[in-house]
Amino acid sequence: MAPGSLVRSRSLRRAQFEERLVKKFFLAFSLVSIFTTLGIIFILFFESVGFFRRVSIVEFFTDTQWTPLFYEKHFGILPLLTGTVLITVIAILVAAPLGILTALFLSEYASPRVRRLVKPVLEILAGVPTVVYGYFALLFVTPLLRRFIPSISGFNALSPGIVMGIMILPLVASLSEDAMQAVPQSLREGGYALGATKFEVAIQIVFPAAFSGVTASLVLAISRAVGETMLVTIAAGQMPQFTFNPLVPIETMTAFIAQISMGDTPTGSLEYQTIFAVGLMLFLLTFLLNLLARRLRERFRERYQ
């Protein structure tokens, strides 16, 4: 074999060896995330099995009282579930219209200079600690709402719901704007060629074409709102009630987990195991929302790749 061929053969083998090494390196890091997820699932299910051996699953899903720390104990998840849903609905009612309109403005109306200015401001909102949002809701938004709604309680669902809507606004606006930017320019030009105005193109062409991406952003924002802890712990109260009244104190699933985790609940007790039962419900809820968002994103990519 010629010396040049020998050198090339060695270089090729070395490159193949390095490629296999890099592949295994990346695979190892991928497996870390997989095994971490499996570990979380195992812990939740293992501890939840112990809980459901002592509490009827029918009671868990049908009882309208949640008092695991009281002398007369009730283990109905409905008060925590309705509190979580109530705040999430209020948040998405705030974030959806503001986020979609902001995305339409950035995508269709804003100049590149304005877009470079507005997007970092939105990202600043996403970087504010949730504790700050919680005290903002408790000390500013609630007193402000009391001027218009005197019957509102000091702890309530309306105030943290509104503030949470502001908190998830950057997520909706940014992902929706990305979806609208991905709409082919030919669709816009076709609308202009038919005599449509910029507003008609934005509302009747761009928004429907980006609907899958916009919907995915809303689902991800809902998932983010469901899993929020500190904001609702500070501003919503810790009174689990089976109610859809946003003016009274409520408690969410995440707030209950935080409450028990910071208390003196003995490890292994029934009260301690409620953390994992509620955590399992929260995990399943957010997991389904993430699956739905991924499904919508895949449809979006397949249409405009």
Residues ≥6 apart with Cβ < 8 Å to 27: none
Token pair for 297:
């994103």
Most confident of 184-198, 239-253, 286-300: 239-253
**pLDDT score recorded for residue 305:** 45
Token pair for 198:
């910029």
Q: 262: pLDDT confidence band, cut at 50, 70 and 90? A: confident
Token pair for 271:
């009260």
- Within 10 A of 274 (CB to CB), how many other CB atoms are there? 26
**pLDDT tens digits, 154-204:** 899 999 999 999 999 999 998 888 888 888 888 888 888 888 888 888 888
Cα atoms found within 13 Å of the Cα of residue 77, Cβ hemisphere only: 24
Q: Against a cut of 0.75, is the pTM above it?
A: yes
